[in-house]
Structure 1
Amino acid sequence: MSRVGQAIINIPDGVEVKKNENGFWAKGSKGELNTPITNTVNVTIEDKTITVEPNDKTSKGKALWGTTRALINSAVQGVSVGFVKEMEIVGVGYRGALQGNKLTLSLGLSHPVEIEVPEGLSIKMDGNTKFSISGADKQKLGQFAAVVRSKRPPEPFKGKGIRYSDEYILRKEGKKK
């Protein structure tokens, strides 16, 4: 039995949900999201709850049961509350700035790195070195945060680079003489 799949999803106030043939739709104060649903699971919407049950007892059906429930829960949570990723830039001379719909990063390279912010996401700068990315779509948010981090990942000797605020960088000892 899937422990994730068994859990019931509560629909918060102000969130509208629908199920169609091959998808799940949720609309709330933060936007609207569509989530695909496979034929191996059955989604039931009753009153203010959503339940997900497997149609077949194969290993694939059981695997998709928990995954589908997690995707639906993320969609409901995203349109009601939203998701936030806190990030920070560490290093002498490393800084970031938001110019319209572009995030401009100075990362010790010969040129500034400009990244277009995807639709549905917003960035809030807290000074030059800290910023938060927020949005309703958890997958899109995580993908964009990973793209930003990949421009200068933290290095293990001095810890310089772009990292998540809750990330711990395992530091290495330098050369010995």
Structure 2
Amino acid sequence: MSRIGKQPVKIPKEVKISVNNNTLNIEGPKGKLSQTFHDDITITYNQEAKQILVNRPSDEKRYKALHGLTRALIANMVTGVTVGYSKNLEIVGLGYTAKVQGKDLVLSLGYTHPIQLEIPKGLKVDIKNPTNPAKMTISGSDKQLVGQFSAVIRGMKPPEPYKGMGIKYEDEIIRRKAGKALTSGAA
């Protein structure tokens, strides 16, 4: 069996679960999540043991992959509705700013116009310092949505290797390059 897939997913007391066909609905203190999984993978919820078990029909390679994937996705959903996920971003650059206006995130990144991004439903954007270096936290219960929105923001102005200007993750290390070097033999 799959090492990850065979492990049961433990369910905390404050989480409510319902399984309908292969659609799993999870509700917890941080929000609600719902996802439909592959029809060949069976999901069973044991209320007495407060755990979810995932089973596959055979030992074919694709079922082994789906087995571990399904269990990992369910575990991420449970963690998301209980603890939540967050990503920290830094915006480094002279004149680069970030602010939240209503349901939009407005970024000023040195272009001729400010960039407006609609904040997806279920996510929260907190800006700790609006100017250089601007620090923001994107948080929510859906791990995939938090990561995707963070990647979209980072893609607006990736960090460059000479001065390190741009948007980067807080724990990201940028490999710096040396600038132009003056040669001593120039006449």
Q: State how far apart, in whole Å, the 2-side matches of 1:8 and 1:169 are.
A: 39
Q: State how far apart, in whole Å, the 2-side matches of 1:154 and 1:13 are.
A: 43
Q: CA deviation at 1:44?
A: 1.9
Say if 2:117 is the partner of 1:115.
yes
Aligned to 2:151: 146
Aligned to 1:157: 162
Pairwise CA RMSD: 1.2
SS in 2 for 1:171: coil
8 A contact 2:15–2:82 mirrored in 1 = yes
SS in 1 for 2:98: strand
Q: CA deviation at 1:115?
A: 0.8
SS in 2 for 1:6: coil
Q: State how far apart, in whole Å, the 2-side matches of 1:88 and 1:100 are.
A: 21
Say if 2:181 is the partner of 1:176.
yes
SS in 1 for 2:4: helix
Deviation track 1:28-61 (CA, whole Å, cap 9, x = no partner) reads 1111111221123222211311121222211000
8 A contact 1:35–1:75 mirrored in 2 = no
8 A contact 1:35–1:71 mirrored in 2 = no
Percent identical pairs in the alignment equals 45
SS in 1 for 2:5: helix
When the two structures are superposed, what TM-score results if normalisation uses the length of structure 1? 0.95
Provide runs of 4+ in structure 1 moved above 6 Å: none
Q: Which moved more, 1:32-41 or 1:110-119?
A: 32-41
Aligned to 2:43: 43
8 A contact 1:40–1:56 mirrored in 2 = no
Q: State how far apart, in whole Å, the 1-side matches of 2:41 and 2:58 are.
A: 8
8 A contact 2:22–2:43 mirrored in 1 = no
Aligned positions of 1:7-156 closer than 5 A: 7-46=7-46, 47-128=49-130, 129-156=134-161
8 A contact 2:162–2:178 mirrored in 1 = yes
2:148 partner amino acid: Q
Aligned to 1:6: 6
Q: CA deviation at 1:2?
A: 2.2
8 A contact 1:154–1:162 mirrored in 2 = yes
Number of residues paired by the alignment? Answer: 177
Q: CA deviation at 1:22?
A: 2.3
